[in-house]
Amino acid sequence: MLSGKNIVIVGGTSGMGLSAAQAFQRQGAKVVALGIGKETSIRAIEVLGRNAHVLTGDATEEGQTESAIEKCLERFGPLHGLYHVAGGSGRRFGDGPLHDLTLEGWEYTLQLNLTSVMLSNRAAVRQFLQQNSGGALLNMGSALAFSPAPQFFSTHAYTAAKAAIEGFTKSVAAYYAPQNIRANVIAPGLTDTPMAQRAVQNDDIMQYVRHRQPLDGGRAGSPHDLDGLASLLLSDAANFITGQVVAVDGGWKLGN
């Protein structure tokens, strides 16, 4: 499905990003994975091999995605797609219910989850325009943006950031459609990643999740559950799809 494609994955060295990188390779793509932390980068190099390039960098810093794109151009050729997975919880910095939410928690969480998306998408769009080639953007949202779970998932800055990603992506999709630049969002439910261990290891939360995500016996999602849709949306098979938010949530938004 992705034969001949060169894709940059921001947040591509662990969790959902690394799983996607492996899936994209199986579909024929060349991958550049940008991730934070030397240990995860070393592991990604071992897993992905020579048809990928791995960089260590912070997605919230200007210039990091540009460096990944430059490496893509140098090693593999023109950029065809960008998948932004990087993000995370700001709970330990003060994200939480509004009455407890600190300014530090708010600013940190929006920087990590929203500003990083703007920076990566801007870098990719500039490259697509320079190439005059079109291209595909795919951003990571969350089911919490449209289907809250106040009992266990009450981080309001995180939810605001993920909701903003939807609006941002749709606005980008509308503006750049004449240039054949597509932009879409994947919105997962609870997925078993390093970020989600607080929930996955809590019996009360998982009992709740089994009710909210009843598909396949009721379980947390796996990073692999997102790979098929991500591959589709970055492929030529999705050339007439833009501005969409697609949930991969095991049924999360259908119940309460």
Domain ranges of the chain: 6-254
Phi, psi of 36 (to 5 degrees): -95, 140
Residue 194: band (very low, low, confident or very high) from pLDDT cuts 50, 70, 90? confident
Q: Which residue has the higher pLDDT, 51 or 129?
A: 129
pLDDT of residue 21: 98
The mean pLDDT of 169-198, rounded to a whole number, is 95
Position 161: which residue type?
Answer: A
pLDDT of 256 over the 70 cut? no
Q: Which residue has the tokens 């703007």?
A: 118
Instruction: Judge contact between 68 and 8, C-beta under 8 A.
Output: yes
Share of the chain above pLDDT 70, in %: 99
Per residue in 79-118, pLDDT tens?
999 999 999 999 999 999 999 999 999 999 999 999 999 9
pLDDT of residue 48: 96
pTM: 0.96
pLDDT of residue 11: 97
What architecture does CATH give domain 6-254?
Answer: 3-Layer(aba) Sandwich (3.40)
Position 35: which residue type?
Answer: G
The mean pLDDT of 2-9, rounded to a whole number, is 98
Q: Among 85, 82, 84, which residue's Cα sits nearest to residue 29?
A: 82
Q: Which helix (H) or strand (E) holds 165?
A: helix 156-176
Instruction: Judge contact between 75 and 133, C-beta under 8 A.
Output: no
Per residue in 119-143, pLDDT tens?
999 999 999 999 999 999 999 999 9
pLDDT of 25 over the 90 cut? yes
| Token pair of 28 as six digits | 């024929």
pLDDT of residue 180: 98
Distance CA 41, CA 64 (A): 15
Instruction: Judge contact between 161 and 142, C-beta under 8 A.
Output: no
Instruction: Judge contact between 101 and 157, C-beta under 8 A.
Output: yes
Q: Which helix (H) or strand (E) holds 144?
A: none
pLDDT of residue 185: 98
- Largest Cα span, the chain: 51
Compute the mean pLDDT over every residue in the chain, rounded to the nearest whole number.
96
Residue 23: band (very low, low, confident or very high) from pLDDT cuts 50, 70, 90? very high
Residue 196: band (very low, low, confident or very high) from pLDDT cuts 50, 70, 90? confident
pLDDT of residue 50: 84
Residue 195: band (very low, low, confident or very high) from pLDDT cuts 50, 70, 90? confident
